[in-house]
Amino acid sequence: MTASWACAPTRWPWHLETDQLTIEPLHQQMIPDVIALMELGEPFITARTYSDYWLYATLFSSTCPVAIIDGQVVGTVIAFRSQDDPSEVYVQDVMTHPDHRRRGITRRLMARVLERAREMGCGRIFLTSEPHNQAAHRAWVALGFGSVSGDRTVDGVPVITDFKGPGKTRAVYELTIARSPGTVE
Ligand SMILES: CC(C)(COP(=O)(O)OP(=O)(O)OC[C@H]1O[C@@H](n2cnc3c(N)ncnc32)[C@H](O)[C@@H]1OP(=O)(O)O)[C@@H](O)C(=O)NCCC(=O)NCCS
């Protein structure tokens, strides 16, 4: 499936302002606010440690966009380009503040990750959701992701048993990125 929700490509580092929403790469000063945001994500998101976010802000900021409204961190995507297969970007966490859901924040953040993946010449973005996370399932489908085949279904969604280790069954989604002229490896 090819993405249809991408913004027009711009150069990185990027900084997007539309209405009150600003999207910025994760930087170290944001880490306490990002942890506070992630702590609102139970049961599907668990905040990681400060040093984890330090790593993301220091080594992966261009694929970790943060959404800010009136100075408040309201959403983030944590994603990485694979070193083992540099054509792939893996999305680890996606979170929108409960007061700001269904306003297109994830759509905008994921568009930013797609834009960066395209700049890096990647061909695929993939992510996982926990079974029963219907909001996430609907979001990934709405954003053009397809389900990777599973060994069974949960609530009609294909899942792969133990995908992330024993007891960690996941629905897996992927988006193929169409190559565009002028892509930089
Ligand atoms: C899933 C989540 C990240 C979506 O974030 P969001 O900012 O609300 O998503 P958006 O507003 O960009 O939604 C984009 C589209 O996804 C679909 N969608 C998102 N949430 C939905 C929901 N609860 N029910 C149905 N469709 C939904 C819609 O089609 C939506 O477009 P629309 O509002 O124009 O119809 C958010 O619900 C969240 O943070 N949940 C808790 C953490 C989590 O589960 N993260 C994902 C782990 S894999």
Question: What's the confidence (pLDDT) of residue 4?
Answer: 39
Q: What is the amino acid identity at position 177?
A: I
Query: What is the number of other CB atoms lying within 10 angstroms of the CB of residue 146?
Result: 14
Counting from 1 in the atom list of ligand 1, the atom nearest the Cα of 109 is 12
Q: What are the residue ranges in the chain where pLDDT is below 50?
A: 1-16, 183-185
Q: How many helices (H) and strands (E) does the chain have?
A: 4, 10
φ/ψ (deg, to 5) at 88: -120, 145
Distances (CA, A) of 63 to 89, 94, 156, 165, 185: 9, 12, 31, 25, 15
Model-wide pTM > 0.85: yes
Of all protein residues, whose CA lies closest to atom 35 belonging to ligand 1? Answer: 102
Counting from 1 in the atom list of ligand 1, the atom nearest the Cα of 128 is 48
Q: Going from the N-terminus, what domains does the chain have, and what CATH number goes with each?
A: 16-176 (3.40.630.30)
Question: What's the confidence (pLDDT) of residue 7?
Answer: 40
Question: What's the confidence (pLDDT) of residue 179?
Answer: 73
Task: Give the contacts of 22 (CB within 8 A, at least 6 positions apart).
Answer: 15, 16, 67, 68, 69
Distances (CA, A) of 108 to 145, 160, 164, 178, 181: 15, 28, 27, 18, 23
- Measure 107 CA to ligand 1 centroid, in angstroms: 8
Q: How far is CA 33 from the centre of its chain?
A: 18
Helices in 61-164 by DSSP H: which ranges? 105-119, 134-142
Q: What is the amino acid identity at position 145?
A: F
Q: How far apart are CA 41 and CA 170, in angstroms?
A: 17
- Measure 182 CA to ligand 1 centroid, in angstroms: 32
Question: What's the confidence (pLDDT) of residue 88?
Answer: 98
Ligand 1 binding pocket includes 102 (Cβ within 6 Å):
yes
